[in-house]
Structure 1
Amino acid sequence: MAKYPVGVAVPLGPLVTRVLAGNASPYTHTGTQTHLVGTGALAVVDPGPDEPAHLDALKRVIAGRPVAAILVTHTHRDHSPLAARLRDLTGAPVIGCAPLTMDDEGPRADAAFDTDYAPDRVLADGERIEGDGWTIEAVGTPGHTSNHMAFALPEAQALFSGDHVMGWSTSIVSPPDGDMGDYMASLEKLLGRSETVYYPGHGEAVDNPQRLVRGMLGHRKQREGQIVRLLARGTQRIEAMVEAMYVGLDARLKPAAARSVLAHLIELQKRGLAVAGEGGAWHAV
């Protein structure tokens, strides 16, 4: 069997099964992963893109079992749109992050927001729901998007980390909705938690999440340091900064890298360390 079989139930633990959508891309890695929680009445985490083949796959894996909740980490189009069809099919409520209607002009193929997302219930940070042998705790993790939410599963010491912490790459933080300060604070927040495994929206399960989160914080601080040093040399444009900072990066990913650089610059501006000039140029204070 292929390492990343599309549309196939892959058990990750006694309570968790993964089903991969067929939407692989440079931005989604092998595709969006939907996770099913439970052995009786299920919770479905991130139903995924509105693709008939993925809905058919979920129907096969659900196999007539009741669905108690459809949980959504955030409203990018590769995570939430299938929620409405799955709700119609199962009668389960859509629960999780708040809706978000603003547009994101970033370049990501998957990053346009699902403006049709209409949850039946929005969870607050720390709020819990209970099901058949499982508990889900909402963990607010804004940054990748302002409405991003992770979900803890205490029975498995697990966290469904959405796009906040992924098993293959760092998350893109794309202004105006993505916020680097919030993203860093959310990573710090996870360092204070006790989960031993993360199940991300993209990529393999993370078996040592604290080490990865510390590494992600260090990586972002390193990127910030690169930007500060470039600004110290004189006025900089983002495109030139990407070329200097991301040597060897796939050209298809450079627009996304530019969005993350912009997010860092906006955060530096908030802290009084950078200023946006005319024509997209930036300089140090």
Structure 2
Amino acid sequence: MQDTIIERIDHTVDGVASLTLRADDGPLAPWEAGAHIDVQLPNWLTRQYSLCGDLDDREHYRIAVRQDPLSRGGSEYINLFLHKGQRLTVSLPRNHFRLEKAPSYLFVAGGIGITPILPMMQAATSAGVPATLLYVGKAHEAMPFATELRDRYSTGEQVILFETNHHQRPDFAAIAATLSPQTLVYCCGPESMLVDVERAFLARRTRIERFQPVAKTFGPNMSFQVFCAQSQRTVDVDADTSLLEALLDAGYPVGAGCREGVCGSCEVGVVDGQPDHRDDIGAPQGRMYACVSRSLTPRLTLDL
């Protein structure tokens, strides 16, 4: 964990707070485009936010948070109660949305989904890789960082703003038909837009980041056992208990952020057995996310 101080709070558009954090003591951990951090709030909540600052600025982190009318307490607290000079503890950066190497990129962002895309656009253009950003929002004045993008890039060419109050949402199928097969597509935004992008770009490489899990249907939960290889202990996981809850109850210090399978803070190593992956990240081989995933075998061996 890292101790930070809020150096600035900017409300670039109505209902969005942009926080610039600096280290309280020593340098901040390095990060790459697509990374996010856990933020421990004074109201005892922990929330995950994409880093959206300047990749060349290694002294600060920047996050941006839109106030959600259905907030569970995180976005509302950040927008209404945090103040300059306040201390916040944040995690080391984690990255499940890495910018892979490609000969060209198409970035698609909707609303606050611009946050992980901003540093991706910077990384691509700084490396001299052709990149286009399609940024969709109701109107310019409601789109976080739209002015920053217009000042930094060639609008109409590198950055194309779609204001849905005046125009329809982009025709993603038509756009897909014009792209080179080698172009890598990255997208973050509201679920309805993500679904449209997935359909339009189905036949090519597309990377999606969601803020909320996709509704899925699984079979009934079954109880299973977990053998923790390092400590040589066995933990029982009941059908009505998550793997994360069982591990925490047994005293294992597993991270617990979103508890919805989208942030990756509860990642654990799998030594043996077959996990039932229920996350929205896509667990790498030999890993699983304990908050939502379970076991397809009666026994799992974890690297704990």
Give me the TM-score of the superposition, normalised by structure 1.
0.31
More helix by share: 1
Larger radius of gyration: 2
Give me the TM-score of the superposition, normalised by structure 2.
0.30
